[in-house]
Amino acid sequence: MNGKKAKSGQRPPVPKSPPAGKFWGLEELDGVPLPDERGHFGIYGGRYVPEMLAPALEELTESYFRWRARPEFQRELEKLWETYSCRPTPLYFAENLTRHLGGAKIYLKQEGLGATGAHKINHCLGQALLASKMGKKRLICETGAGQHGLATATVAARFGLPCTVYMGAVDMRRQATNVFWMRQLGATVVSVEEGTRTLKDAVNAAMKDWMWNVAETYFLLGSALGPHPYPAMVRDFQSVVGREVRAQLEKAEGRLPDAVIACVGGGSNSIGIFNEFLAEPQVELVGVEAGGRSLKPGEHAARFEGGRLGVVEGYKSYFLQDDDGQIQKTHSISAGLDYAGIGPQLAWLRDQGRVRFVSASDHEVIAAFQLLARQEGILSALEASHAIAYAMRYAPELPADKIVVVNLSGRGDKDIFILAEALKDPDWKAYCKDYAEGKIR
Amino acid sequence: MSPEADRPQGRAAALVEVFARLRKDSRVGLMTHIVFGYPTVEASRHLVDIMARSGVDLIEVQLPFSDPTADGPTITHACQKALDRGVRVADGLAFAREVTKKYAVPILFMSYFNVVFNYHEKGEARRGVAAFAKAAAGAGAAGLIIPDLPPEEDQERYPETCREHGLHPIYVTSPNVNDRRLEAIAKAASGFVYATSRTGTTGREVQIAMEELGRFLDRAHRLCKLPVAVGFSISKREQIEALSGKAEMAVVGSHLIQVYEKLGLSALEREIRTLAGRKD
Ligand SMILES: Cc1ncc(COP(=O)(O)O)c(C=O)c1O
């Protein structure tokens, strides 16, 4: 629990404007570097990779910190965010939902309105711009839901770079629409048949590709995890979300939020919106993990419910694993949260009591999706619906003068097959059948 | 600490002697590899038996891990199959105890850091490097090869802890690595250094650029001052002979799994004898 929460009834002070030109994530909290020069957040993070990747990660770290400090790089990226994607994304006061739930005011940060329909575009534009500055000739990435793959394929097309997307065979089946779009964007989508054939195996496959093509290729990692500098770099590129929320809420309400809620897969959208408020102890930060079907091993992806400290895929953090340290199967109705590890900075923030973690079950998530659709006319991605699900539980517990901001990390179009199946929609099933049989022209 | 305490003992000493003997005979040694439990534990027994009888100099026993990031499809698949059959780390340790009693050839454990980091004795709460090092040494291993633990991630004093338990911490390095990193490895490593012949993962047959490799091996010798074993894409006796004067040991892994899968145990035995340069 967050011990530093402001006493209820007491108004948080009006926030200072963010320091001018500050473009990236918080670099220190209570004297602890975020991260240290070798990528550690306390005991978490680091760079646990085969030696042959070390030169590439050293080059990437050096280039990233050099480029991000340049005002022209920041301006170029800001322009891409504004004109190619959609920044700032709206911060919307969900009046109907607030009234319906009867508690704190709920604001939604509409990341789903950006290009490609999810927050992933923020760090993809950032990393693709960096890759082009570094003179890299090719992009590779891993993807789970396909949202990160879609965003990477998109920026690859924009920057004129060939792109290979690794995707677990299981995920390719459940996110077939994204596979189609990625191919339309010119990317090669490789089906990963190893292991559990989901996101973690796609990460491994992309890392292996990188080992073979390390000099020319840029590995565009899709969340705030992996070896240093990815957790810090992805956070930095996503920190624009929280920065906008602060300014937008200051304008709308003249104050800071009382709580910020985000779903947590690897951690990019959550750390992106949390970062701005880490040093504001009165703002409660809540991460929502995938509770899946149940909290039995293999049925969920809530690392803090059943995980243990480990070192996998280049970083130290919490992982869902068996007694021997073998990574376990995970499950979530949302492919984007279906992953055994969690970003190292979040693990550290949890230890500090700065971020509180909860989980939402598949059932709650579907109910949340439906409620938001009916109340506000917003179709949210299943990942983001986890954050809504917790807001549904939490907002009614808070008095009406409190403000909760929910990061709506993506829109729900991509989830039509999963939702139709989960909701047992007979018309959709019939349509798919007829379509497959060529009965629909 | 007395000078004796610094000197390797038991199996670790046997590994040092292997390299001394190779130098005396001016011969390139052979380290062969198995994935423990693939396709079965019984098969692992046969494989080690063949390797020991064929005059292999070192045996690398890979403890399967679910996410082997440095391995190509052959070994990744083998690890997955072994795990699917329910192979546990404790079984691998028991296996090593059994074979190191039977054969003189030193064995090394290869795995990924999460396996070491999470290891604990049954009924003990403490996990980690010291527990694993104690168990591995107790099982008769001469060293550990952990490709995803770079020297700068000083986890629970990994290299020192290995040595305190009589194990060589073997580091894997690659041609694209700079001198500074090789020097860091030199500080931490003992026994020998494992050099990959190229970048990329294990198990793809590609032409090795010998001249470039030669320059890298010179650099590795100069900076690490340890014997060097070369692995990745080695599958032929000629390649091993070509390493003469350049490296002390060749490592063959995926190729043997492929031979075993395609042609079976007796073909594998012939292959290992050929690779070891046995003419009898
Ligand atoms: C819409 C959406 N939200 C959230 C996530 C989870 O990732 P992260 O925790 O990195 O934000 C994904 C991943 O694919 C996603 O597509």
Residue A414's alpha-carbon distances to A113, A418, B106, in angstroms, are 13, 9, 55
CB contact under 8 Å between A51 and B178, yes or no, is no
- What is the nearest CA distance from B68 to chain A, expressed in angstroms? 8
With tokens 């011990």, the residue in question is A3
Q: What would the mean pLDDT of A416-441 be, rounded to a whole number?
A: 93
| B89 pLDDT above the threshold of 70 | yes
The reply to whether residue A310 touches residue B117, judged by beta carbons under 8 angstroms, is yes
- Which of the four pLDDT bands, split at 50, 70 and 90, describes residue A198? confident
Check if CATH label 3.20.20.70 holds for domain B3-272: yes
Which is more confidently placed, B8 or A14? B8
Q: Which band of pLDDT confidence, cut at 50, 70 and 90, is reported for residue B122?
A: confident
pLDDT digits (tens, 9 = 90+) for B11-24: 899 999 999 999 99
At residue A320 the predicted structure's pLDDT band, cuts being 50, 70 and 90, is very high
Coil, helix or strand at residue B34:
strand
Residue of B nearest to A319 (CA): B114
Q: Is the pLDDT of residue A13 over 90?
A: no
CB contact under 8 A, B148 and A311: yes
Across the range B167-181, mean pLDDT stands at 96
Q: What is the pLDDT, as a whole number, of residue A19?
A: 52
CB-CB neighbors (< 8 A) of B72 in chain A: 208
For tokens 């031979």, the residue is B259
A268 lines ligand 1 (CB under 6 A): yes
Cβ A258 vs Cβ A398: under 8 Å:
yes
What does the DSSP 8-state code read for residue A84?
I
Give the pLDDT of residue A311: 97
Segment A149-172 shows an average pLDDT of: 96
Which helix (H) or strand (E) segment holds residue A192: the answer is: strand A188-192
pLDDT at B204: 80
Contact A55 B176 (CB under 8 A): yes
Note whether A198 contacts B: Cβ–Cβ < 8 A: no
Cα–Cα distance, B167 to B196 (Å, whole number): 21
Q: Does A49 touch chain B (CB under 8 A)?
A: yes
What tokens appear for B83 in the block?
């795990």
Topology given in CATH for the domain delimited by A42-84+119-234? Rossmann fold (3.40.50)
- The mean pLDDT of chain A is 93
Query: Hey, what amino acid is at B119?
Result: Y
Complex ipTM value: 0.94
The answer to whether residue B142 scores a pLDDT higher than 60 is yes
pLDDT score of A322 more than 50: yes
Active site residue A22: no
Show which residues of B are catalytic.
60, 71
The count of residues in chain A is: 441
Q: Using 50, 70 and 90 to split pLDDT, how confident is the model at A2?
A: very low
Q: Which residue's entry shows tokens 């500050």?
A: A22
A439 burial class (0-12, 13-18, 19+ CB within 10 angstroms)? exposed
Q: Whose CA is nearest to atom 13 of ligand 1?
A: A336
Mean pLDDT of B265-269: 94
- Burial degree of B122 (CB within 10 A; 0-12, 13-18, 19+): exposed
CB-based contact, A314 to chain B, within 8 Å: yes
Residue B172 has a pLDDT of: 97
Ligand 1 contacts CB of residue A381 (under 6 A): yes
Q: Is the peptide bond prior to A88 cis by the omega test (within 30 degrees of 0)?
A: yes
Question: Is A152:A222 a contact under the CB 8 Å cutoff?
Answer: yes
A124: left (phi over 0), alpha (psi -120 to 50) or beta: alpha
Contact (CB, 8 A) for A1 and A392: no
Residue B230 has which token pair? Answer: 């070369």
Kindly tell me if the per-residue pLDDT of A441 is higher than 90.
Answer: no
For the structural domain made of A91-117+239-422, what CATH number should be given? Answer: 3.40.50.1100
- Mean pLDDT across A283-288: 98
Determine, for residues A204 and B196 on separate chains, whether the beta-carbon distance falls below 8 Å. no
Stated as kind and residue range, the H or E segment containing A110 is strand A105-110
Burial of A308 from C-beta contacts in 10 A (0-12 / 13-18 / 19+): middle
Give yes or no for residue B9 having a pLDDT over 70. Answer: no
* CA dist., res. A370 & res. A390, Å (int): 14
Question: Which pLDDT score, from 0 to 100, does residue B4 have?
Answer: 43
Per the prediction, chain B carries an average pLDDT of 93
What are the angstrom distances between the C-alpha of A403 and each of A5, A302, A355, A396? 13, 26, 17, 11
Tens of pLDDT, residue by residue over B221-255, are 999 999 999 999 999 999 999 999 999 999 999 99
Residues of B in contact with A212 (CB under 8 A): 199-201
| Mean pLDDT, residues A371-389 taken together | 98
Q: Residues A97-105: what's their mean pLDDT?
A: 98
Nearest to B104 by CA among B136, B138, B140: B140
Q: In what helix (H) or strand (E) does residue A108 lie, and over which residues does it extend?
A: strand A105-110
How do strand A217-219 and strand B58-62 relate by DSSP bridges? unpaired
Cβ proximity of B34 and B58 under 8 Å = no
Percent of chain A with pLDDT over 70: 95
Q: Does the annotation mark A132 as catalytic?
A: no
pLDDT of residue B1 exceeding 50 = no
pLDDT band at A5 (very low <50, low <70, confident <90, very high): very low
Of residues B17, B22, B46, B16, the one with CA closest to residue B34: B46
pLDDT for the residue numbered A17: 46
Looking at residue B8, its pLDDT comes to 65
pLDDT for residue A37? 93
Domain ranges of chain A: 42-84+119-234, 91-117+239-422
Domains A42-84+119-234 and A91-117+239-422 belong to one CATH topology? yes
Joined together, the tokens standing for residue A378 give 């917003």
DSSP bridge partners of A62: none
Q: Which two tokens stand for residue A125?
A: 């534009």
For residue A398, give every residue at least 6 positions away whose Cβ sits within 8 Å of its Cβ, in sequence order, or none. Answer: A103, A104, A258, A259, A404
The candidate with the shortest Cα–Cα distance to B111, out of B88, B127, B86, is B88
Closest chain B residue to the Cα of A326, Cα to Cα: B66
pLDDT at position B278, please? 85
In order of B205, B240, B264, the CA distances from B267 in angstroms are 19, 19, 6
Q: Is the pLDDT of residue A145 over 90?
A: no
Quick check: A217 pLDDT over 70? yes
Task: Tell me phi and psi for residue A44, to 5 degrees.
Answer: -90, 170
Percent above pLDDT 90 for chain A: 87
**pLDDT of A246 above 80:** yes
Among A16-25, A100-109, A189-198, the range scoring the smallest mean pLDDT is A16-25
